[in-house]
Each structure stands twice: as structure tokens, then as C-alpha cells.
Amino acid sequence: MKKTTVGEYGAWLAQLLADRPAELSFRRPEFRSVGSWRRQAWRKAHELLAPPEISVRDVRVARAYEWDGLELEELSWQLPYGERTEAVFMKPAGARGRLPAVLALHDHAGNKWLGWRKIARNREKPAPIVRKHVANYYEGEFWATRLARRGYAVLVHDAFAFASRRIRVGNVLPRVRAGFPSVEPRTERAIWRYNDWAGGHEHVLSKALFDAGTTWPGAAFAEDKAALGYLASRKDVDARRIGCGGLSGGGSRTAFLAGLDHRIRCAVCVGFMSTWRDFALDSCWTHTWMIHVPHVSRYLDFPEILGIRVPLPAMVLNDWQDNLFLPREMIRADRILRAVYKKAGAPEKYRCNFHPGPHKFDRKMQGEAFGWFDRWLR
């Protein structure tokens, strides 16, 4: 018997995830009009995500300055719940007019203490924990800052449950705190203790979100959508030329945001593209609750969520030795998206490439992603 994440129940789940197009897959022969299919798929995906309807208010700029050829604004805004969301906005110094823009989405990486600082720099020297993170996943490059230097307006915000949006241990029930101290961490060792606690707390938070009628991907999508709305509202941004992208958790956020909000005119999903079969039978044990949406696999395979944006352009970048996914399922996800774009008459709007190495978004991959943004947003 083939070993699976759920032991002897794997064969049963494999039957539920049979290798045939799901109920709302555009690959099914009954779907001929891409417009009609998109409307049905969007409605169902949005219904199952169940995102709260929120928007940004009370935007405050804490610091604005020029540094290393860029204009930066370190800012925050209030959402209807939780602490203020912290973010950074960057553009080339002296830039005039409305610029093409990218909403850069940071990763998960088991580190909820950090948010936008994982992929963007300010004028301060990065902390050791930040430098290690950037070296490990981005070949030492703060890719969002690098993209701003290329001529883009770039916004990076803390995602739901990360950094400024994280769960404060002192505010949870003592029995849920499980002996973890309520004081804020001050050392890197204490930060990693917090990250371990926050990783275990994902199960609690996810169940609470389900009980309240929403989902973790729905909450993350809502907050990313609110950030997108702020970015599009800026007078120095061309709202007709906005893209988004990110690695890992940022890649999963890209799939949902770019698939369901078509103000995103160009998308780059890095290190996060596989199938529900992969997640259910082999890989769900290593993935966050940020991707799991009850019942959605009945209607759409995971890559088809991103595919709802067809014929708008989408790029997927994978790593062959990425231990978060099975290579054969990454290949199958690519085939699914190619079939969707081909049937929609827009094969040139989709590109997928595989790179050697582990889970990462290195300089070569960044250059490929930037070229894709240049092609469709310039």
C-alpha cells in the first residue's frame, strides 16, 4: 500500500481527487466561453474563501525620506480588526507621474515575527535574523527593493497574522498560551520561540476562522485586496498597470489575489504551484493553513484558482528540488494552466519555468520575474 499523509485513508482520498477536471474546471468540454466560465468560477471560489469585506482607513506615514536612490514611505493603516498594518512604499527618487506598480507579497517560512522586512529594505541596517532569511531564500537580495530600483512603485505590507498583524501572546487565553511568556521577544532565540508557538497556534486560529464563517486564505486575501486598493488609489501609481508576486506563502497569496482580483494585470507566482492531490496525499503536513479552503477542490484544482485570471498574464516559477511539493504534481499543475490558457486562446500570456535547486527565489529567478513585469506593465 502506498504511504500517504493519512495512511490507509489515502486511497479513498485519491478516489475523491480522481484525475479528471473538477466541476468548474475550464478544461471541461461544456465550458466554451471564457467570460461565462470566469464568472462562475470566481463566484464559487469567492463564496468558499468567504473573505471579510474590508478596506484601508486612517493611513499614516511614520517616516518619508530618500535613501540609496529611492523615495521611501514607512506607513501604516487601520483595518476593522486587529493592530495597525505596517507597510513600506518605495519608488525611484525623483520619479514623476504615475508609475507601473507591484504589490510585493512576502513569504511565510515559519517566521511570523517578520513581515515586509523579509523582502524590502529601509535605511536601517537589517537585523541578523533578517539577513539570514534573505540570504537563505533570496540569494541575499531584497527583491522588492531591487524591483523599485528598476522603475516601479512597490508596496509591501505585513500579511494577516505576521509582524504588525501577528497574534500577541499576551492577548490569548492562558490555556492556549500553553506556558509561553506573554512578554514580547527581545532576542533572536526568543523570536524563534514565538515563531514555534505561532506555528502551533495556526490550528487554533484556523478553526476559529472556520467557526466564524471565513477561512485563513479568505482573511489573507481580504487584507491583500485592501492593500491593493490603497496602492491603486495613490496619485503616483498607474492603477491600470499593477502586478503582484511573491515566493512561497507570497506565491499562494499571489494565486488567490491575482486569480480573484483582476486589477492585478500581471502576476508572478514563485515556489508555490502544485495540485490538491499533492497537498492532500503527500505535502499538506509541511504547508500552512494559509492555502486550505473547504470544498474548493470539488470545483477547481489549485492552479485553476490562478487560472481564473485568464487571459491576463501569469508566470509560475518552480524549483526542481523544492521539498514542499512533488515534482510530478508541479508538472501536472503546469499542464493544467497551459491547457486553460490555450483553450482561452492566450497561450502567450502564460509561462512556467523550472529552476535547479531548493525552495528559493534567487537572483536569476528574480530577473526572469522582473522581465515578465516589464513585458506586461511597462
pLDDT at 92: 98
d(CA 48, CA 293): 7
Backbone angles phi, psi at 269, to 5 degrees: -100, 115
Output the nine-digit C-alpha cell for 145. Answer: 527593493
All residue ranges of the chain with pLDDT < 70 are 1
Cβ atoms of residues 34 and 311 within 8 Å: yes
d(CA 9, CA 148): 48
Output the nine-digit C-alpha cell for 282. Answer: 503527500
d(CA 271, CA 48): 24
d(CA 310, CA 343): 10
Cβ atoms of residues 349 and 314 within 8 Å: yes
Q: Which of 209, 203, 139 is nearest to 367 (CA)?
A: 139
HEC profile for 328-358?
HHHHHHHHHHHHHHHHCCCHHHEEEEEECCC
According to DSSP, residue 300 is labeled -
SS3 112: coil
* CATH number of this structure's domain 48-377: 3.40.50.1820
pLDDT at 185: 87
Cβ atoms of residues 270 and 246 within 8 Å: yes
Helix residue spans in the chain (DSSP H): 10-16, 34-49, 128-138, 143-149, 174-177, 188-211, 216-233, 249-260, 276-278, 302-307, 327-343, 363-377
pLDDT at 179: 75
pLDDT at 286: 87
pLDDT, tens digit, 9 for 90 and up, residues 111-145: 999 999 999 999 999 999 999 999 999 999 999 99
Cβ atoms of residues 279 and 326 within 8 Å: no
pTM of the model: 0.97
Amino acid at 35: G
Give the sign of the dihedral formed by CA 107, CA 113, CA 119, CA 120.
Answer: positive
d(CA 15, CA 22): 13
d(CA 47, CA 296): 10
d(CA 100, CA 336): 30
pLDDT, tens digit, 9 for 90 and up, residues 344-378: 999 999 999 999 999 999 999 999 999 999 999 99
| DSSP class per residue in 55-100 | --EEEEEEEEEEETTEEEEEEEEE-SSSSPEEEEEEEETT--SPEE
Contacts of 219 (CB under 8 A, 6+ apart): 51, 52, 160, 209
Cβ atoms of residues 206 and 292 within 8 Å: yes
Output the nine-digit C-alpha cell for 160. Answer: 494577516
Beta strands at 70-78 and 237-247: parallel, antiparallel or unpaired: unpaired
d(CA 51, CA 31): 26
d(CA 72, CA 68): 10
Backbone angles phi, psi at 309, to 5 degrees: -80, -10
d(CA 163, CA 86): 8
d(CA 257, CA 272): 14
d(CA 367, CA 146): 10
Average pLDDT, the chain: 96
pLDDT at 167: 95
SS3 23: coil
pLDDT at 1: 61
